[in-house]
Structure 1
Amino acid sequence: MIAFKFLAAGALAPFTRFQWPASGEWVSAAAHRPELWIHACRAGDLPYWLADELWRIELDGPLREARYQVAAPRARLVARVAAWDRALAGDYARACALRARDLALPHVPTAARDALARATELDAIADVARGAGPASRAAELVADAAQNALHVGPATTSYIAATLASALGGGLAAFEAERAWQARWLAERLRVGEVDSGP
């Protein structure tokens, strides 16, 4: 199976710090220990695993599918997805922050709603959202998303947007629907495969 794997710069596993051979050699885990198998993601799982580099990875052997990832006892890197770079990561973070603003609009105080709807720059979105006052949790999350898009990066920004969707009343289903929107955004721009359509 061809799947995807996010790695730190230099093909380094972000959690285990394992140095992946970029030349495509097979890497094996203990087949009798599924909890130690090599993890990867499908196109729909991309927003959950963001890091510096995105690679196509080939998984071999029995496949174990989980809610947000897949795993197998053997894998090898096939090719880096060059489209995932700093510029696209920034565009994605901005898209998630704007999406958070749009989701929150019906839930922010009326006095701030028009100004927030007109704000298109991340600094302005953060300022207007902060000005809505501490009583508005939705506005706080919008400000956090905008600030994270500017200063932290796409992983936290997209997580905040999904958390906002959940906090607005939809719970886990709304969280996952927002992640699905994010996955479609990524798949379209990265041209990495189909993701189920949805909200």
Structure 2
Amino acid sequence: MDPETQAVAVQMLERAGKINSVQVLIEENSLLNKRSIYKPLDGTSSTDLDDFPHLSLDDLRNITMGVYQVKQAPAYTKEHTDDDGGYELMACRDFPDLLRVKIQSRHSKNAIHTLWIQYTSDTGNIRGWYCTCKVGARVVGCCAHVASVLWFLGWKRHLPEDQLGKPGLASSCLNASSSSGTFSSNDPLEE
């Protein structure tokens, strides 16, 4: 096994032993059912979420533990953005570093998933995530819902305007064969 693959395997094993701290926070504070503690944000605004971490494609691949969700993120984001071109985001008043997003299931018109992303603005790290979908509580990688929001907030909205409309940008940037294959050593999850 080459050293890079071995490093990823070690990282996966370390994450597998952790609990989902965001899920615990949501459940212990009954944040799933409380509506009044959230305020709307504009993900396309330069002032709202200016403290959200800027993510590189390597950071996203590190969070997702591969390229599958990262490659799906542009199409998934396009399907789930509102008329203004951004996700409908909510900030938690009790936990200012916690975002909530409601997202329609791609597979069922009747299913809506709620996801949370917790981040640290001073260090620029994604601390964790939780989604109510079937695989949304995992800590080894993340579901496509979380990946699409991270891709949009952490990477796409920071691209220069002239790059946003270029055809093939997402596929060329997200092509696994053009990637360095390395992962950032920053662990996005807290213990």
Short-chain TM bin: under 0.3
Which of the pair is proportionally richer in helix? 1
Structure with bigger RCO (C-alpha 8 Å, 6+ apart): 2
TM-score normalised by length of structure 1: 0.24
Larger radius of gyration: 1
